[in-house]
Amino acid sequence: MDAFDDAGSARAVDGVPARCNKDDMNAVIPSRAKKTLLWLQAGSCGGCTMSVLEVGAKGFMRELQAFGIDLLWHPSLSEESGSEAIEIFEDVAEGRRPLDILCIEGSIMMGPDGTGLYSRMAGTGKTTLDWVRRLAPRARYCVAVGTCAAFGGIPAAQPFSEDVSGLQYGDGLEGGALGRDFRSLSGMPVINIAGCAPHPGWIMETLGAIAFDEFAATDLDKLGRPRFYAKTLAHHGCDRNEYYEFKASAEKLSDLGCMMEHLGCKATQAVGDCNQRAWNGGGSCTHGGFSCIACTSPGFEAANGFLKTPKVAGIPVGLPLDMPKAWFVALAALSKSATPERVRKNATSDRVTTDPQRGKAGRE
Amino acid sequence: MTRVIAGPFNRVEGDLEVALDIQDGVIARAEVTTTLYRGFEAILSGRPPSDALVIAPRICGICSVSQSIAAATALRNLAGGRAAPNGYLAANLAHAAENIADHLTHFYLFFMPDFARAEYAARAWFEPTAERFKAVSGNASAEYLPARRRLLEIMGLIAGKWPHSLAFQPGGVTKAIDIGERVRLAAILADTQVFLEQTLFGVSLDDILSMQTEEDLEAFRAKASGDFSAFLGIADDLSLRHLGRGPGLLLSYGAYHEAETSLFPAGIAGLGGVTPFDGSGISEDVAFSWFSDTAETPFEAETRPDALKDGAYSWAKAPRIDGKPMETGAAARLTVAGHPLITALIARDGGTSVRTRVIARLIETAILVHAMQGWLRELRLKEAFSTHFTLPDDARAAGLVEAARGALGHWVTLTNGKIERYQIIAPTTWNFSPRDRTGLAGPLEQALEGVETGALGAKSAALQHVIRSFDPCMVCTAH
């Protein structure tokens, strides 16, 4: 029944025709075998799971079924508790049960002093670090769900930068809990679905692409993030774009203007299609009135004063990625001198007070 | 006497382990262990105060807005400031949306699947319950999750995204709501009301809100066909009103504040009635926690991990008020608020139970939808959604709010414009507290004593019901 809704009709996924054979267990995936998924939480807030529960017209579990993904165990969803769950982990760790996808959510707690004791896998007497190191080599694909599992995230902030790591990156560098040379059975490095929390689509589309058997190392950027969302900047599609172009800046949170100059916004420096897809039906950070904190980037937690732009001689220290500084400064000065009155006024207001006006030529 | 370890104890938020001494099929003693420590309080110290709004919500992915609002409230109190009236209302709308989602996620995904366990195969209600609530495959989640997704569209309109938003500030919210957005919010609430009335309750919200006595509840159960009445039927069959009794005292900090009022009041309820709560008398003990000794009051305390401490068994501290453990959550909130039905159930049963905790949560969803519709009408769209004020360099203040799971407090001390000390006591720190230096057990530890596990030990469904009835959030517990 996997790919069928209650009415028994086959569902199609973008670009992939659904089959009409009701007996086909993997209707959205042309002739692929089922995949197994084990999801564990390490030093996690659980927010990545909360995010992915938003996917799909009938929810995450039906979505997994539609993609032919068999959920071996998930801490928030599965019936098995205690020894029943440990049996599943042991079967995978000992190679008795094939594992296609291992999802790890949360930072890997290495401390104190490399013991991993800040996070024990309940009921097992072992640290989460031990379990991750036993299970990861058994997986065809190893997926870091969220910035914590990818790069360490907020728990890796001072004073814990030595005690907390991502799966394959720590403190922004290759290494982490599994080491720089780690490859899962597919030959892939850890897939880093960075984001705090990631968009539900980033997680589900990564899992779906793996189920399609067409996800390769070339689909990742140099920090292991899926390029389908990491190939653009969070800034792209920001609805404050006109304010950015004219350097009409917000002075305080709740103003409509661009938040880069004063309020710490890093959307021109952070990857993500954040402003090209809807969050919770239609939002995004900048749309919601607050700055991008670069949560898809390694080391984002190291900022001290997230909501204030660090400046030298009045010029923001962090300029847009791959933009020559001299040009940026020159263009910014030029834009500021050309800012329309409407944009200047609205930039420091919490709502549009000046509407677009009819021009001399009679056009809007 | 047999000692068994239950864990990983799943379908809760985060990591939980419970050690049980079982004598002749009955739990004689329980030790509740929070197995994860991340050190948020240490991460917060030394930073500018506004960084708390980035970091504190990331303690918890399921009650992130609650953490945001506790931090924003503490910062506002540091300045002695007021938020814009619209700011309180918009924050309350998002906060209530999160709490409804949490209550329903608990019911549909975490709690009810235990009644689909094979242990209950012989019960008359088993087949329909398994079809509806079986973990992962049951048909209820395919109805609930789309309703949850729709409800959380409130976050897209108010908070930008969920979880982990910076929209909640000391002065209000960062985005003004316009006339079209108010209509969209109203439409989402209407859809949520339809889900509650058609799927969860099987009657109108007004019918739920008017229930005052056990007889009203029984009349509802007999006529309604929704998931709530299905639970009540199971609860009667399994005598869940006699299972998992709490320690007696119920704590609420009061919830959904506006400048002068709040929807739910603060207080401490016992069998003798409700007494006022003024924020004093709170202490935290680390006798059985993996932390070095420290001051007991949250404004003075430090959090210094000691992973190898002798005799310790949890990363949670043991919070007490005047030396007493407190149960907190929806049942406490509604009892302190004088809700007639919940007060009557607790009086009749001699304390909280698995059944009453679940009933309180579900009734609260109806109260909140109703309240949200009122807040939405009260918004004055032409006025500001945020005030702006400067924080002092040296001050201390607390932000005491209610998360879905109960009393949540942040205690902040600023020195020279930086956070010197930040202490957090979360709802499940109260409920799943370890013992204190006098040996007094925490609320869950007390609720588990005397529970019959029969031959099933840690696999017993009764054990699962008692633990999950508190809707624990372990990631908040030790933070």
Q: For B263-284, how does the pLDDT look when each residue is reduced to its tens digit (9 = 90+)?
A: 999 999 998 899 999 889 999 9
- Subunit contact B43:A79, Cβ cutoff 8 A: no
Q: Is the CB of residue B274 less than 8 Å from the CB of residue B267?
A: yes
User: How would DSSP label each residue in B317-383?
Assistant: -EEEETTB--EESHHHHHHHTT-HHHHHHHHHHTS--HHHHHHHHHHHHHHHHHHHHHHHHH--TTS
Mean pLDDT confidence for B186-199? 98
- Subunit contact B5:A279, Cβ cutoff 8 A: no
How far apart, in whole angstroms, are the C-alpha atoms of residue B340 and residue B32?
A: 32
Mean pLDDT confidence for A211-240? 96
pLDDT of residue B433: 98
The 10s digit of each residue's pLDDT in A299-337 is 999 999 999 999 988 888 877 878 888 888 888 889 999
- CB of B47 less than 8 A from some CB of A: yes
Global pTM value: 0.95
Share of chain A above pLDDT 70, in %: 89
- The H-or-E segment that residue A223 falls in is none
Interface probe with B: pick from A2, A74, A81, A352, most Cβ of B within 10 Å: A81
Asked whether the predicted pLDDT for residue B301 surpasses 80, the reply is yes
- Subunit contact A122:B16, Cβ cutoff 8 A: yes
What is the complex's ipTM, to 2 decimals?
A: 0.98
Q: Which residue of A has its CA nearest to B461?
A: A81
- CB of B87 less than 8 A from some CB of A: no
Mean pLDDT confidence for B152-160? 98
- CB of B42 less than 8 A from some CB of A: yes
Asked whether the predicted pLDDT for residue A10 surpasses 50, the reply is no
Average pLDDT of the residues of chain B: 97
Mean pLDDT confidence for B187-207? 98
Residues of A in contact with B47 (CB under 8 A): 304-305
Share of chain B above pLDDT 70, in %: 100
- Inter-chain Cβ pairs, chain A and chain B, closer than 8 A: 280
Closest C-alpha to B447, from B241, B159, B200, B246: B246
The 10s digit of each residue's pLDDT in B367-420 is 999 999 999 999 999 999 999 999 999 999 999 999 999 999 999 999 999 999
pLDDT of residue B311: 96
How many Å lie between the alpha carbon of B59 and the closest alpha carbon of chain A? 6
How many Å lie between the alpha carbon of B269 and the closest alpha carbon of chain A? 31
Asked whether the predicted pLDDT for residue A244 surpasses 90, the reply is yes
Asked whether the predicted pLDDT for residue A272 surpasses 70, the reply is yes
Say whether the peptide bond before residue A197 is cis (omega within 30 degrees of 0). Answer: yes
Q: Is the CB of residue B478 less than 8 Å from the CB of residue B367?
A: no
Interface probe with A: pick from B17, B22, B50, B58, most Cβ of A within 10 Å: B58
Mean pLDDT confidence for A217-222? 96
Closest C-alpha to B74, from B305, B412, B373, B438: B412
Residues of B in contact with A84 (CB under 8 A): 459
pLDDT of residue A204: 98
**Domains, chain A:** 35-230 (3.40.50.700), 233-351 (4.10.480.10)
Mean pLDDT confidence for B338-342? 98
- Subunit contact A77:B144, Cβ cutoff 8 A: no
The 10s digit of each residue's pLDDT in A76-115 is 999 999 999 999 999 999 999 999 999 999 999 999 999 9
Residue showing tokens 């049942």 = B331
pLDDT of residue A28: 57
Interface probe with A: pick from B3, B5, B15, B460, most Cβ of A within 10 Å: B15
pLDDT of residue A15: 40
- The H-or-E segment that residue A311 falls in is strand A311-312
- Subunit contact A75:B61, Cβ cutoff 8 A: no
Q: Which residue of B has its CA nearest to A197?
A: B163
Residues of B in contact with A49 (CB under 8 A): 61
How many Å lie between the alpha carbon of B49 and the closest alpha carbon of chain A? 8
- Subunit contact B11:A305, Cβ cutoff 8 A: no
Asked whether the predicted pLDDT for residue B430 surpasses 60, the reply is yes
Q: Which residue of B has its CA nearest to A72?
A: B136
How many Å lie between the alpha carbon of B151 and the closest alpha carbon of chain A? 9
**Of the candidate ranges A163-172, B135-144, B249-258, B466-475, the one whose mean pLDDT is the lowest:** A163-172
Q: Which residue of B has its CA nearest to A153?
A: B58
How many Å lie between the alpha carbon of B46 and the closest alpha carbon of chain A? 9
pLDDT of residue B196: 98
In angstroms, the first-to-last Cα distance of chain B is 33
How far apart, in whole angstroms, are the C-alpha atoms of residue B94 and residue B154?
A: 6
Interface of B with A in 353-412 (CB under 8 A): 384-386, 388
- Subunit contact A81:B10, Cβ cutoff 8 A: yes
Residues of A in contact with B64 (CB under 8 A): 45, 47
Asked whether the predicted pLDDT for residue A360 surpasses 80, the reply is no
| Closest in B13, B42, B50 to A307, CB measured | B50
- CB of B337 less than 8 A from some CB of A: no
- CB of B10 less than 8 A from some CB of A: yes
Q: Is the CB of residue B105 less than 8 Å from the CB of residue B113?
A: no
Asked whether the predicted pLDDT for residue A68 surpasses 90, the reply is yes
Average pLDDT of the residues of chain A: 90
Q: Which residue of A has its CA nearest to B145?
A: A59
pLDDT top residue among B452 and A19 = B452
How far apart, in whole angstroms, are the C-alpha atoms of residue A173 and residue A60?
A: 32
Residue showing tokens 């080391």 = A299
Q: Which residue of B has its CA nearest to A56?
A: B146
Residue showing tokens 């263009």 = A331
The 10s digit of each residue's pLDDT in A119-172 is 999 999 999 999 999 999 999 999 999 999 999 999 999 999 999 999 999 765
Residues of B in contact with A120 (CB under 8 A): 15, 17, 35-36
The per-type count for chain A, helices as H runs and strands as E runs, is 10, 13
How far apart, in whole angstroms, are the C-alpha atoms of residue B222 and residue B218?
A: 6
Share of chain A above pLDDT 90, in %: 80
| Per-residue tokens: B211 | 């229930």
Which residues are bridge partners to B397 per DSSP? B412
| Closest in A117, A160, A278 to B307, CB measured | A117
Task: Report phi then psi at B170, rounded to 5.
Answer: -55, -35
pLDDT of residue A323: 83
Residues of B in contact with A121 (CB under 8 A): 7-8, 15, 35
Asked whether the predicted pLDDT for residue A195 surpasses 70, the reply is yes
pLDDT of residue A298: 96
**Of the candidate ranges A233-247, A326-340, B55-69, B178-192, the one whose mean pLDDT is the lowest:** A326-340
**Domains, chain B:** 2-478 (1.10.645.10)
Residues of A in contact with B478 (CB under 8 A): none
